[in-house]
Structure 1
Amino acid sequence: MGSVVISVDAELGWGFHDVSGHSERLAAARVGWKRLAGLCSEYEIPATWAVVGHLLLTDCDGRHENHPRGPEWFRCERDRWADRPSLRYGPHLVADVAADPVGHEIGCHTFSHVLFGADDTTAATARAEIEACLDATSATDYSLRSFVFPRNSVGHRELLAEYDFDCYRGVAPAERTPLNKLREATVGEPEPRLVTPAVDEHGLVDIPASLYLFSFEGRPRRLLTTVFEDPIVQYARRGIDAAAREDGVFHMWLHPNNLTGRPEIARMRAIFDYLDERRADLAIETMGEVAARVDRVDPPTAGHSPDGV
């Protein structure tokens, strides 16, 4: 018997502060968060909510002069988001998730969504992001032990070990093309990817992703789902079935801001319905719970490194 893990990139606006567009997902940032938290409560499904540390603040100067990236990195706080604190802060949202009796885990998604695997992200910047996130949690009882890299850009894992993190979400499989997704929905494919958590050379548990739940969107999805069932729902069901039959982890992930409307909510409800049906046959775990049962006495020797992938 295996397990299912759901990890959540909980970032409100911070996932987009360095890029333009995405107005629909920005508009859904808080409402999507509440929708997802509500669904988890309704189905009693725990998840790892990897939170951008800035969300735990209630106020700031919008400059963060001491940050290695400097005030320019935080320009959105002073111009286009100056009158949108709902995209910058969310301590009560995080507190509500943490207090839910379903047993969510609060993890780390850096302080301001810096890409750790980017060429221009120095160790000093990564360290500042980790420390600022930990500082933001100092007035809470959150124990950040799981780490999710922004945009799955893996890097500076040695610092995660230094700051006593236990695990991270490893690099997801290569994005499937629309043609492959069409074939999956209409013909089917071999079982979805179960992953085996493994200890890396830093003593951290790598829990790779199996499926991004919103990798098939836009016009292709609208056209296909007028005839066939949502292929992501089909793929998720096959992954849940595989986890119920075999050892291994089926690790799904998403952003709350993916829940922009009824079709997205229907997708999550269909997946949670099926997971609820099969829960007697598998475990539903957080990343931290998975890491806690992995033997980390003898991590592999250095040499293999997925950093910067």
Structure 2
Amino acid sequence: MPTKISIGNEKINSRDPFLGKALVKSNGYRNYLLKFQSLIALLILCLVIGLLSDKFFTAANAWNVMRQISVNICISVGMTLVVLTAGIDLSVGSVLALCGAITAGLLKSGIEVPAFDLYIGFTLLGAILAGITIGSLLGAFNGWTITRFNVPPFVATLAMLTIARGLTMLWTKGFPISGLGENFSYLGTGWFLGIPLPVWISGLIVFAAIIITNKTRVGRYIYAIGGNESASKLSGININKIKILVYAIAGGLAAIGGLIVTSRLDSAQPNAGFSYELDAIAAVVIGGTSLSGGRGSILGTVQGAIIIGVLNNGLVLLNVSPFWQQVVKGLVILLAVIIDKSNAKNE
């Protein structure tokens, strides 16, 4: 009998068993490369930058890269959950800035209500929880707008990007909020067991996200909605509830990223988080998560975030102009999307 071999969407009948084995082996190599393409790209990138700069393979630079990517990992994990449902969130950079500014303002000045001669002070924990809560509520509002009014995620989150950025300017009056104290600064600059605290925070977030996506019913629902929303609805999944939850998580994680940035600088900058959403989307796509939804992983996103972090660090070490850095990152995103679409066609 002829041997049937599937390559992409085509089937080839071959009476030659040696040819059949060769084709199957070739297809196995291809799948292996696709599985580890992000890791291979990271290794090649590190080798190239290491050859061009003698400062790259140093302990100080390694910790610097880890601190930098910690913020992007926080945002990218939330973005991954959103993209897995075939959505997108363009507001995470602005939400990051707003939540960081709100936390800084509450910690330093509290809330004053002159009409009632009332002052509400905030402890460090209270201010942090308030910032994360605001981020989650803004994310939930994104999800509610998308599900309640059937607004495309791109449009709804683009609107929130503008709203959150405007609220940040109103809250800060266009000026940085600085002098937040050593305890708050420790969140972004401190060390624990020889590892920077932001790395611990991002690591815990990644661990929790892996558990949610791989071991819980909510995780299975997220993949199901991205894979086939109509079938998920017919099977009884509350699609609106899951989407609102996913966007709320993305907003809360953006807020945590904002806390890390603000504490590291000891200042809430009105323009913080500018273009952070692009780095997050790049990390998600490079990590192998499909923009069509239903396919991807948290660990893949972590690899993508590390690639973006190493790329940013390498371009700085090589004294590449910031303008060219934007061009390079844009080309990387475009290349990742092209590879994603090509892989989707061959599945």
Q: Does TM-score exceed 0.5, indicating one fold?
A: no
TM-score by length of 1: 0.25
Greater helix proportion: 2
Greater strand proportion: 1
Structure with the greater alpha carbon radius of gyration: 2
TM-score by length of 2: 0.23
